[in-house]
């Protein structure tokens, strides 16, 4: 999927490739009720756009979901 996020200071919008994973049974579907997902996002400036509390949108040919960053893991 593609993740779209906005920098809270500059208001610049950036898109990132994202691998989306969940403990929910079955595939992720647009319009699903609230679920917790893990996003693996790669990019040089990910930290500038995805701070704790940041909002983001997921896109897969069209907008399929919106979310809020609740924690970050650095690998």
pLDDT of 17 reads 93
Give all strands of the β-sheet with 2-6 in edge-to-edge order: 37-41, 13-22, 2-6, 55-59, 63-68
Q: How far is Cα 41 from Cα 59, in angstroms, rounded to an integer?
A: 14
What is the tens place of the pLDDT at every residue in 14-64? 999 999 888 776 666 656 677 888 899 988 889 889 999 999 999 888 888
Query: Domain containing 64: what range?
Result: 2-68
Say how many domains are in the chain.
1
Q: How far is Cα 20 from Cα 40, in angstroms, rounded to an integer?
A: 7
Which residue, 30, 56, 27, 61, is CA-closest to 43? 56
Residue 75, domain member (yes or no): no
Residue 73, domain member (yes or no): no
């Amino acid at each position: 999927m593609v993740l779209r996020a906005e920098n809270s200071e500059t208001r610049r919008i950036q898109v990132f490739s994202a691998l989306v994973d969940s403990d929910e049974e079955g595939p992720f579907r647009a319009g699903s009720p609230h679920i917790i997902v893990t996003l693996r996002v790669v990019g040089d400036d990910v930290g500038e756009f995805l701070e704790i509390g940041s909002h983001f949108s997921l896109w897969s040919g069209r907008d399929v979901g919106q979310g809020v960053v609740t924690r970050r893991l650095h690998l």
